[in-house]
Structure 1
Amino acid sequence: MLRKIMPVVLMLIGTGAGVGAGLALRPTPEPEAAHPPETSAVSDKPANLEFVKLPSQFVVPLLESGRVAALVVLSLSLEIAPGQAEMVHAREPKLRDEFLRVLFEHANTGGFRGTFTDASNLVVLRRALKEAAVKVLGEQVSDVLITDIVRQDS
């Protein structure tokens, strides 16, 4: 009889010890702020913008001596004024064409060689992509975001 009761007793003791340790070691709750957090015009800006992810990735070949030495694959999103997503989708073919022109130019000038993810390289690329987006879509475009970037060498 003791052989059947002993595992149940040990299980109850272990469970009780675990619950007790969890209660004793839990973090103390932080007191609620007496005043609501202050907001600024800067924090209001993102609330007035939308993000549109372009559905297909951009593939850029990197050529060396007339052959493809590597591929760079990027995913882009646009930060735009509210309610303009439909316009972005309607003009997507022209937008993709302009983006590919910028990406090929960046590749041909060596922008994807070496440490291509260096902040200064990406600033130049983002600026050129934004100029291309504004050319196609107008001032509705606030920024172009590089959401993914990968280089695969062959």
Structure 2
Amino acid sequence: MKAVLLFAVATGLAFAGGYGAGRYETMPRPTVPVDAAPAALAGETIGSGPYYVEVGQLVVPMLAKGRTVAFILTQITLEAGSNDEANMVRRRLPHARSAMLETLFGLAGSGSFDGPAVDPLAVSAALLRSANGQYSSRPIRTVLIDRLLRQDNSRS
């Protein structure tokens, strides 16, 4: 009898906890612009840039004699000068990603990623030219490379 009562109480507590957590998650919260908090902390005026657009990860294989010898993994963020430019970049982001992938394939094919050292500034400049080539006005100020690494393929 005690076991049944204990089971009923535990079930009721679990139900009440789940219900409360669900109500808490669905409560409307006041929204704060993403740029407002860092700007206020830095003493800047709200609404001033820079504005960032996440491109995400791009992975490119390095081929030699028809085999994949390595993969180049990049994590890229674009910096735009204004909110309008950032929104324009977001709307046409698939085109910019495609152009940057083509550039990375070209760099991988030309041997830019061979050897022990890669020049990240040269890679960033090449990606900036290709990304801005998709727009009539050049909305992208800088290509920020968050991650650039080469993963060798150990399969033979």
- Bigger radius of gyration among the two: 1
Structure 1 gap ranges (5+): 1-46
Q: CA RMSD of the aligned region, Å?
A: 1.9
Residue of 120, 131, 134 corresponding to 1:133: 131
CA distance in 2, matches of 1:130, 1:86: 17
Would you say how many aligned residue pairs link Structure 1 and Structure 2? 106
Shift of 1:62: 0.5
Shift of 1:86: 2.0
CA distance in 2, matches of 1:61, 1:106: 11
Deviations 1:22-53 (A, max 9, x none): xxxxxxxxxxxxxxxxxxxxxxxxx5321211
Runs of 4+ displaced beyond 3 Å: none
1:63 maps to 63
1:17 maps to none
Q: What TM-score does the superposition give when structure 1 sets the normalisation length?
A: 0.63
CA distance in 2, matches of 1:126, 1:68: 24
Shift of 1:82: 1.8
Instruction: Report percent identity of matched pairs.
Output: 32
Q: What TM-score does the superposition give when structure 2 sets the normalisation length?
A: 0.62
The 3-state SS of whatever aligns with 2:133 is helix
The 3-state SS of whatever aligns with 1:57 is strand
Matches within 5 A, 1:5-154: 48-54=49-55, 56-84=56-84, 85-117=86-118, 121-137=119-135, 138-154=137-153
